[in-house]
Structure formats: C-alpha cells, structure tokens
Chain A
Amino acid sequence: AQSVSQHNHHVILSEAASLELGCNYSYGGTVNLFWYVQYPGQHLQLLLKYFSGDPLVKGIKGFEAEFIKSKFSFNLRKPSVQWSDTAEYFCAAKVTGGFKTIFGAGTRLFVKA
C-alpha cells in the first residue's frame, strides 16, 4: 500500500540551528513529492514540491528538500531556523498524474528563541 512516513513527531531546536526532517515514501512508479507547513492558527500551505528534474528543490522561506530515489526519501532541510519556523510540517506524495495525495503523520517543530 502507498504510504508516507515521517521519522520524528516532535523536534525542538534553538534559533540558528540547522534543520533536517526525514520523510520516506512507499510507492510504485513515478511519484510527485511535497512538503506542506501549517503555522499556528493558519491554513495548511504548500512549502515546496518535486515533480521531476533537479532532485534538490528549493521552496519558500529558505527551505529545501532533496529527492533521493534510491532511498525513497525526500528530506526537508533549512540551514538556520528562526523562531517563526515553529509549525507542523507534513510530507506528502502522489503517483504522477494522480489525484490521491497521501500525507505523513506530521512533525511538530518548536524553535526556541
């Protein structure tokens, strides 16, 4: 069955620390991959997406993610986090051309000022 796994449910970092959130997917065929973010009290929003091409994808607010096909992974990174990055982050995937986007369980990030 198709699935998306996120390694950490809760992460606590100090400002300026580097961030890496793990994501693995289980899919057959070609996949599209996404990271979404939900800031406190706000809508879910798309952070970045990978469809094809360069496996290193850059998104908004200095985030990036790397697609490693051999590891079925799409980890999210940011070199230096800010207090305003406190949010819940969701990895998601779908089959290319399909509509069924499957989400991971989410990782709650808390950044200490």
Chain B
Amino acid sequence: DAEITQSPRHKITETGRQVTLACHQTWNHNNMFWYRQDLGHGLRLIHYSYGVHDTNKGEVSDGYSVSRSNTEDLPLTLESAASSQTSVYFCASSESSGGINEQFFGPGTRLTVL
C-alpha cells in the first residue's frame, strides 16, 4: 500500500544545531508540503513543492529550507534550530490533477529544541 512516512518520529536537539526531518511518500504525488502544528495556531504551511526541483515558501518559512531532488522525498532542514521551532511537524502529499486533491499526511515528527 502507498504511504507517507516521516523520520525521526521524535527528536531532541540543542539551539543552534542543524536538523533535518525526512519525509518519504510512495503515492508518486507531485505535490508535497511541510506544516507545523502549534497550540492556538493549527497547522501552518512552511514550504511546499509541486515537483522535482520546485520549492516554494509558505506562511512560516523563516529558518527552514527544503530541497526536492526526486518525487518521493522532501526533507525539511532547520539551519540553526531555535526554541521557537519546538513543534510537531507534518509532511503531506497530494496529486496535481485538476479539482480538489486532498492531502495525505504523515504521522508527524515531534521536535524539541532545548
């Protein structure tokens, strides 16, 4: 069965360190997204990609970067982790055909920055 996975599921790091969160999907979807979920804010879009070598900034992109070298993966990098980036991170993917294309979400990564 097709799926979307995230690793690690939990991560504790220190302020200033570089952290990379992995996202892998086997749906063969062109669209991939990264969100963070915080209390009182719901899910907020960090970065998204519509295909290989395409990346776009979302609502809260400062301090984050992504790269898309193949269809299956969209890793999220925190260049220099800050305590404000403590959050739960969700990756999602969707088809790129016309009409409404619901997003399929991964299980999430809980990141703590000390």
| A, B bound | no
